[in-house]
């Protein structure tokens, strides 16, 4: 049995097991996805059924972060729609961690909305709730989930109401109204209109209240339904702006057509209305119909109750109710004050953290700017160095080309012309010097140019030798011109002057180099022998021009 046969069966078994596990995982994931799809489809119409489906999902089957985030968001939605207020982020946190970084605009909007709702449920985290809503509303131009956006406006308006910001309260109410009107949801649309009217009543803005009341009345007749929130607004509006007899008739009509499904709060509103009109019996009758009142409405209930009792002459009962009202108000104010203190402390801590973060970012920015500036300066220096190097290399290449050309010319002279031994030696020495200079330029090693430096120093210090080498070289390069000069009767000293003029030196510079005061006289004698007038032309320019004629 070979190696393949030994391992073939176990290997196939292992692959089958792995494939089965992966297949089971995929099927399980598809099953949970289908359940979440079903729960999401029922979320608006049957939130209790959606909650049941979500509770049946095994969290262990949710393998990916995306699926966990979706489940967390759907579960938070189901809790909120089933009126189960949560104050912790245990359920929603996976959605916060995933969607706020990687989610679509709609997913971010929903996550921020339910995050804000949890902060609101806590009662003392209004600043954090407002921050969530502001971030969510900033996405309004890129989302398609207008339903959640409308709910976000409604949630935010409650914060404005709590802070006494009634202009913003009205604005948010109208924005939410417009969304739910387009979604054809008359109940919530009328509730939003009622909120906007209440805001106008707070600000005593009768003109806007009248306009909104006409819109509300139109939709009320269109849908044939009476919205309880709008009814509250109508009662307060009538008490503030209508005649007493008209308001009483309006309250009587409500009593005649009251809906048993309405909350007890409507009896409180009617009792308050009759109390304002001075109708004690009708006021106490409606107040006694209230069976249950929550903690939020109790303060309002007590304030109405003690006024009605005072109206009916029950002063002792009115005093006891007033005491209860004051105790409850003090308790609420104390709790509110404690929350404000805690809020100040949180704001201070938050501002301190923000300041620390800003300082950290500023330091990082300064360090980054410093590094960038250093790199920029370094880059400029490197580029400048490269430019200088390129220029230097260009000069060296040109110089090397010139030296090569001169060396080749000298070699050609040595090979083709019959020269004396002394001239040949001078030319060979010059070829060797040129070879050394070329080697120094190629290798960047100064040792090759050392003979040239030594000769340079020697010729500068030994003027007689320098002039001899210069004259011999000049004669070799310009034999016909030198013959012409000799025919004109120029002496050896005068030939030396001509060679120095040919190098480009001026009369004064030649005099300084030769350390002689006779340079003007010698130049004058050369002019005479060459047939030049004293002021006719510069002698150096004349000599250099004549050389070109004999080349």
DSSP-derived secondary structure for 26-70: HHHHHHHHHHHHHHHHHTTT-HHHHHHHHHTS-GGG--SHHHHHH
Torsion of CA 439, 444, 450, 453, to 10 degrees: 100
Q: What is the pLDDT of residue 20?
A: 47
Q: Could you give the CA distance from residue 246 to residue 220 in angstroms, rounded to a whole number?
A: 20
Q: Two tokens at 259?
A: 């809906």
- Decide if 550 contacts 481 (C-beta within 8 A): yes
Give the CA count within 13 Å in the CB-facing half-sphere of 97.
Answer: 13
Diameter of the chain measured on Cα atoms: 154
Q: What is the pLDDT of residue 152?
A: 94
Question: Residue 344, SS3?
Answer: helix
For 140-250, strand residue ranges (E) read none
Q: Could you give the CA distance from residue 481 to residue 499 in angstroms, rounded to a whole number?
A: 11
DSSP 269-336: HHHHHHHHHT-HHHHHHHHTT-----HHHHHHHHHHHHHHHHHTT-HHHHHHHHHHHHHHHHHHHHHH
Q: Could you give the CA distance from residue 103 to residue 322 in angstroms, rounded to a whole number?
A: 53
Q: Two tokens at 359?
A: 């300082």
Can you give the pLDDT of all 551 residues of the chain as single tens digits?
Answer: 444 454 455 555 555 554 444 444 454 567 888 888 898 888 888 999 999 998 888 877 787 899 899 998 999 999 988 988 888 899 999 999 999 999 999 999 999 999 999 998 888 788 999 999 999 999 989 999 999 999 999 999 999 998 889 999 999 999 999 999 999 998 899 999 999 999 999 899 999 999 999 998 898 888 877 788 888 888 888 888 888 889 889 888 888 887 767 777 888 888 888 888 888 888 888 888 887 777 667 878 778 887 888 888 888 888 887 888 788 777 766 555 455 445 544 544 545 555 666 677 677 778 877 787 888 888 888 888 877 777 767 766 766 666 566 556 556 655 655 555 555 566 566 556 556 555 555 655 566 556 666 656 665 667 777 778 778 878 877 888 888 888 888 888 888 888 888 877 887 888 777 777 777 788 888 888 888 877 777 888 888 888 887 76
DSSP 239-277: HHHS-HHHHHHHHHHHHHT--TTS-THHHHHHHHHHHHH
**How many Cβ atoms are within 10 Å of 526's Cβ, its own excluded?**
23
Q: What is the pLDDT of residue 368?
A: 78
Model pTM score: 0.56
The position carrying tokens 């060679």 is 499
Q: Could you give the CA distance from residue 501 to residue 503 in angstroms, rounded to a whole number?
A: 5
- Long-range pairs for 214-217 at CB < 8 Å and ≥24 separation? 216/190
Q: Which residues of 364-388 are buried (b: 16+ CB within 10 A; e: fewer)?
A: eeeeeeeeeeeeeeeeeeeeeeeee
Q: How far is CA 385 from CA 109, 290, 378, 388, 395, in A?
A: 56, 93, 10, 5, 15
Cβ burial, residue 316 (10 Å; 0-12/13-18/19+) = exposed
- Number of separate helices (H) and strands (E) present in the chain: 24, 0
- Decide if 132 contacts 112 (C-beta within 8 A): yes
- Decide if 507 contacts 520 (C-beta within 8 A): yes
Segment holding 534, helix H or strand E: none
Q: Could you give the CA distance from residue 65 to residue 100 in angstroms, rounded to a whole number?
A: 13
Segment holding 339, helix H or strand E: helix 315-416
């Amino acid at each position: 049995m070979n190696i393949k046969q030994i391992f073939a069966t176990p290997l196939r078994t292992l692959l089958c097991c792995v494939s089965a596990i992966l297949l089971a995982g995929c099927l399980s994931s598809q099953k949970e996805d289908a359940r979440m799809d079903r729960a999401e489809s029922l979320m608006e119409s049957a939130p209790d059924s959606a909650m049941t489906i979500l509770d049946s999902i095994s969290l262990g089957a949710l393998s990916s972060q995306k699926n966990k985030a979706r489940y967390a968001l759907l579960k938070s939605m189901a809790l909120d729609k089933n009126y189960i207020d949560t104050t912790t982020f245990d359920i929603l946190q996976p959605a916060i961690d995933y969607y706020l970084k990687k989610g679509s605009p709609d997913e971010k909007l929903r996550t921020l909305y339910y995050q804000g709702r949890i902060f609101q449920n806590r009662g003392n985290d209004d600043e954090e709730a407002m921050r969530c809503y502001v971030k969510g509303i900033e996405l309004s131009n890129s989302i398609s989930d207008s339903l959640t956006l409308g709910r976000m406006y409604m949630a935010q308006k409650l914060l404005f109401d709590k802070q006494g910001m009634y202009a913003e309260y009205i604005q948010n109410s109208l924005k939410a109204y417009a969304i739910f009107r387009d979604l054809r949801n008359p109940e919530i649309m009328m509730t939003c209109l009622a909120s906007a009217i209440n805001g106008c009543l707070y600000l005593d803005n009768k003109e806007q209240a009248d306009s909104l009341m006409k819109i509300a009345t139109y939709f009320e007749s269109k849908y044939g339904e009476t919205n309880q929130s709008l009814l509250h607004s109508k009662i307060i509006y009538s008490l503030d702006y209508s005649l007493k007899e008209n308001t009483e008739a309006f309250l009587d009509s409500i009593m005649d057509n009251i809906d048993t499904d309405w909350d007890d709060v409507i009896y409180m509103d009617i009792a308050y209305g009759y109390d304002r009109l001075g109708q004690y019996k009708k006021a106490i009758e409606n107040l006694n119909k209230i069976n249950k009142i929550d903690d939020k409405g109790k303060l309002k209930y007590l304030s109405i109750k003690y006024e009605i009792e005072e109206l009916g002459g029950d002063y002792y009962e009115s005093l006891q109710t007033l005491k209860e009202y004051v105790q409850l108000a003090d308790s609420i104010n104390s709790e509110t004050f404690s929350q404000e203190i805690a809020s100040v402390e949180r704001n201070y801590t938050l501002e301190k953290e923000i300041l620390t973060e800003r300082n950290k970012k500023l330091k990082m920015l300064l360090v980054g700017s410093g590094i960038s500036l250093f790199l920029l300066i370094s880059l400029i220096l490197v580029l400048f160095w490269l430019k200088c190097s390129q220029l230097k290399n260009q000069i060296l290449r040109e110089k090397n080309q010139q030296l090569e050309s001169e060396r080749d010319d000298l070699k050609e002279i040595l090979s083709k012309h019959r020269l004396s031994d002394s001239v040949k030696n001078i030319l060979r020495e010059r070829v060797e010097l040129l070879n050394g200079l070329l080697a120094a330029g190629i290798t960047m090693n100064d040792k090759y140019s050392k003979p040239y430096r030594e000769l340079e120093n020697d010729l500068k210090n030994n003027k007689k030798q320098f002039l001899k080498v210069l004259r011999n070289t000049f004669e070799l390069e310009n034999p016909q011109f030198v013959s012409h000069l000799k025919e004109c009767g120029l002496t050896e000293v005068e030939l030396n002057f001509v060679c120095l003029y040919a190098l480009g030196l001026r009369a004064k510079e030649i005099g300084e180099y030769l350390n002689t005061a006779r340079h003007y006289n010698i130049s004058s004698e050369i002019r005479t022998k060459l047939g030049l007038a004293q002021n006719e032309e510069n002698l150096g320019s004349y000599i250099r021009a004549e050389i070109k004629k004999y080349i």
